[in-house]
Amino acid sequence: MLEELIRSWDGEEVVVRFDQPTDSWIFICIHSRRRGPAGGGTRMKTYSSPTEALRDAMRLAAAMTLKMAAADLPLGGGKTVIAVPGPIVGNERRDLLLRYAHLVDSLGGNFHTGPDINTTPADMDVIGERCSYVVCRSPEHGGSGDPGPYTAQGVFHGIKASVRNVFGSDDLSGRVCLVQGVGDVGSRLADQLAAAGAQVLVSDIAAERAGSIGNRIGAEVIPPDDAIGVECDVYAPCALGGTLNAETIPRLRCRIVAGSANNQLAEPADARRLLEAGILYAPDFVINAGGVLYAWGREALGWTLDSIEARLAGIGDTLREIYTTAAAEGKTTEATAEALAHSRLDLPVLSPGA
Ligand code: PHE
C-alpha cells in the first residue's frame, strides 16, 4: 500500500505524479538534504505495481544519501523512478521527459537529477530544456556526458582494494572476475578488468549484449541463471539490485562481491550472511560512487579530470579503511560503511557565526 510505505519511510518528501498520456507513475523521492540538495538519477522501468516502483525509488534514494556522504560530496540523496507500462520512445518519450522536467523544476533545486537505468545523456538534454537541475547532459549541450566509464573506473579501484585485502596483492592477472550485467557500467568494467589481465566472465539477461562484449574481450559468457553459482574470485553485480539474498548467498562460489549495482543486498541480514560465508562484500554505495563524483565534480564543484581520477582511486582507499575497521570491530563491511556515512550526516549544524 502506498500509504503504508510513505508513512514508514525515513526520508523527507515523496512527490507523486501520474502521467496520464503515457500511463506512467512518477515518484521523486527526496531522502535527505542534510548535506545539501538531494541528488540522484532518474530510472525508467516497468514494475509489477506502482507500490513496487515507489518502494524501489525510496530504497534507491536512501542509498544515494549514504553514497553522497561516504563520498564526502556536499549533496543529499534522492531518486526518481518513472514507472512506465512499457518502452517509451520518440516524441512520446520526449514529451514525458519535458513534463517530468517541469515537475523537477517546480521543486526549486531541492532535487537534482542525472541518468540511471534506462535513461541517457540525450534524455538529460531534453530535461535540460525545461529545468536546470540536471547533470550529465551531453557535452554538446554543456553537460559532462555519460558517467558510466567513471563509475566503472571507481569500481575497478574498489575491486583492486578488495583483491588486495583477500589475497595480499592487488595484481589482477589470472584472477577470475564475473561481471553480471554488461550494460553501460558493466561493459566498461569488463574492459578494464581484461586489460589488467583478469580472466573475465560475463553474464547478461540480454544474450546478444553478453555475446558481443564476450567476443570483444575474449570473455566466456555465462548463462544468467548460472551466474550466481560460478566459481570465481570476484563476483561483480552490475545490473539491478537485490541479487544477494537468503537464497542466493549460500550458492555463491566467490571470495569477493564488488560491483556497481545499487541495493545489491535484498535485506540488511544479507550483509551478515556474506560475512559468515567468508565472502568480502564491498558496500555498493561506496564502490559505485564514481559516477556522482565525476558528474558533480565536473559540473558543480570545479574539479579537474586529474582530481576526479584521484578521487576515483580514493574509493579504493575508503574501502581499505572500511575493511580494516570492520575486521577489527567484528562488524560487517556494510554496517561499517553505514557508520562512516552516518558520521557525516550527524554533524551538528553550526549556527551562523559559531
Ligand atoms: N545513477 C547514478 C547512481 O546511482 C546516479 C547519478 C546521477 C550518477 C547523476 C551520475 C550523475 O549513482
- Give dist(CA 299, CA 320) in Å, integer: 28
Question: Which residues sit with their C-beta closer than 6 Å to ligand 1?
Answer: 40-41, 114, 116, 135-136, 147, 262, 288, 291-292, 295
Tell me the pLDDT tens digit for each residue of 49-75: 999 999 999 999 999 999 999 999 999
Report the pLDDT value the prediction gives residue 354, as an integer from 0 to 100. 37
Q: Which secondary structure element, helix H or strand E, spans residue 200, and what is its range?
A: strand 199-203
Tell me the pLDDT tens digit for each residue of 162-191: 999 999 999 999 999 999 999 999 999 999
How far, in Å, is the centroid of ligand 1 from the Cα of 83?
18
Q: Residue 248 has which C-alpha cell?
A: 542466493
pTM for this entry: 0.95
Probe ligand 1: pick from 29, 64, 123, 292, max atoms within 8 Å of CB? 292
Confidence grade of residue 347 (pLDDT, cut at 50, 70, 90): low
- Select from 102, 97, 60, 95 the least CA-distant residue to 80: 60
Report the pLDDT value the prediction gives residue 346, as an integer from 0 to 100. 76
- Give dist(CA 121, CA 114) in Å, integer: 8
Q: What is the mean pLDDT of residues 116-145?
A: 97
| CB neighbours of residue 266 within 10 Å | 16
Tell me the pLDDT tens digit for each residue of 15-55: 999 999 999 999 999 999 999 999 999 999 999 999 999 99
Confidence grade of residue 330 (pLDDT, cut at 50, 70, 90): very high
Tell me the pLDDT tens digit for each residue of 292-305: 999 999 999 999 99
List the alpha helices (DSSP H) in 34-143: 50-70, 90-106, 121-128
Rounded mean pLDDT of the chain? 95
Active site residue 331: no
Whether residue 236 has pLDDT greater than 50? yes
Whether residue 9 has pLDDT greater than 70? yes
Confidence grade of residue 350 (pLDDT, cut at 50, 70, 90): very low
Q: Residue 46 has which C-alpha cell?
A: 516497468
188: which strand partners?
A: none
How far, in Å, is the centroid of ligand 1 from the Cα of 3?
28
Which atom of ligand 1 has the smallest separation from the CA of 289? 12
Lookup result for grid cell 534514494: 61
- Give dist(CA 154, CA 283) in Å, integer: 13
| CB neighbours of residue 293 within 10 Å | 28
Which one of the listed residues 45, 67, 79, 160 is annotated catalytic? 79
Tell me the pLDDT tens digit for each residue of 124-137: 999 999 999 999 99
CB 204 within 8 A of CB 210: yes
Q: Residue 8 has which C-alpha cell?
A: 514508514
Lookup result for grid cell 514494475: 47
The full DSSP string for 287-327 is HTTHHHHHHHHHHTS---HHHHHHHHHHHHHHHHHHHHHHH
Whether residue 353 has pLDDT greater than 80? no
- Select from 150, 209, 235 the least CA-distant residue to 185: 150
